Structure 1
Amino acid sequence: MSLTERLTNDMKQAMKDKDKVRLSVIRMIRTAMKNLEINEQRELSDEDVINVMNRELKQRRDSLQAFEAGGRQDLVEEATAEIQVLMDYLPQQLTEDEIRAIVQETIAATGAASKADMGKLMGALMPKVKGRADGKLVNQVVTQELQ
């Protein structure tokens, strides 16, 4: 079953269960997917759908930080629930230790030795962790390893 079909089935189930949070998140994902399909004028692959979800997840995490800084606990809870629904559809996320191992392996392969090589390292590293790790965390680990 493709990810698009799974989203459609889960949307129907969320309607039956009256799960408003899951339903709104799935509708938001499907809307973003439809917009991308229209812009690209092609049917989306599962990888494209994952990219859409990652973009939406990043937006929710940024909003979460803003809500926490603003002391809006009601919006923090809502954003946290939306993030959890999005995480259910994404591939298993890498732990910091797994990211660190991949970074060290990529450093050895590229010969990166200092922060000046960070662009080259990130270019080789990001395809390996795409969709499975938060870019901020990857950047943080790379910075630590190059010091």
Structure 2
Amino acid sequence: MAESLRARLNEDIKAAMKSQDKVRLGTLRLLNSAIKQLEIDNRVELDDAGILAVIEKAIKQRRESIKQYEAANRPELAAGEQAEIEVLQVYLPEPLTDAELQTLIANAITETGAAGMKDMGKVMTHLKPQVQGRTDMGALSGQIKAKLGG
């Protein structure tokens, strides 16, 4: 069986400590902390899919911070956030190509019998496990709306 995401994170934290890579170490520690906090709050142990969701959220937060820093003319802070995004993206699966994504959307619409915007939730629920960590969910939502005539 493949190494779990949690084990890989822990190994990478140790490696970052040894190599004294402060950006990587700080980013991974923050991620580990966010994972543990979510587990404590919800009294669960996250599997790889749950950890992927935490990573996606962390990347989304950093992208929003970059926009704010750029608007405030603080490129050095935006660069720091971008460096953290690059550390986190290593843990995401290979992104889907546009063609693969369009095929998955078409299949999901067919399989769920979606006929219009009222079925958007069904399609998203069907697709989420297949695309998590591999595409921007906001962009996916827009593409599904376009296909369903929204």
Q: Same fold (TM over 0.5)?
A: yes
Match of 2:108 in 1: 106
Equivalent positions of 1:53-132 (< 5 A) are 53-132=55-134
CA 1:56–1:114 in structure 2 vs 1: closer, same or farther (change >3 Å)?
Answer: same
Query: Is there any run of 5+ residues in structure 1 with no aligned partner, and where?
Result: none
Give the whole-Å Cα distance in 2 for the aligned partners of 1:124 and 1:130: 11
Secondary structure (helix, strand or coil) at the match of 1:89 reads: coil
Give the whole-Å Cα distance in 2 for the aligned partners of 1:74 and 1:101: 40
- Give yes or no for the alignment of 1:141 onto 2:137: no
Q: How big is the shift at 1:86?
A: 0.7
Give the whole-Å Cα distance in 2 for the aligned partners of 1:55 and 1:18: 26
Q: How big is the shift at 1:90?
A: 1.5
| Stretch deviating more after TM superposition (8-17 or 109-118) | 109-118
Q: What TM-score do the two structures reach when normalised by structure 2?
A: 0.84
- Over the aligned positions, Cα root-mean-square deviation in angstroms equals 1.9
Give the number of equivalent residue pairs: 147
Amino acid at match of 1:26: L
**Residue 99 of structure 1 contacts residue 141 of structure 1 at CA under 8 Å; is this kept in 2?**
no
Equivalent positions of 1:25-44 (< 5 A) are 25-44=27-46
Match of 1:2 in 2: 4
Q: What TM-score do the two structures reach when normalised by structure 1?
A: 0.86
Amino acid at match of 1:102: L
Give the whole-Å Cα distance in 2 for the aligned partners of 1:28 and 1:40: 18
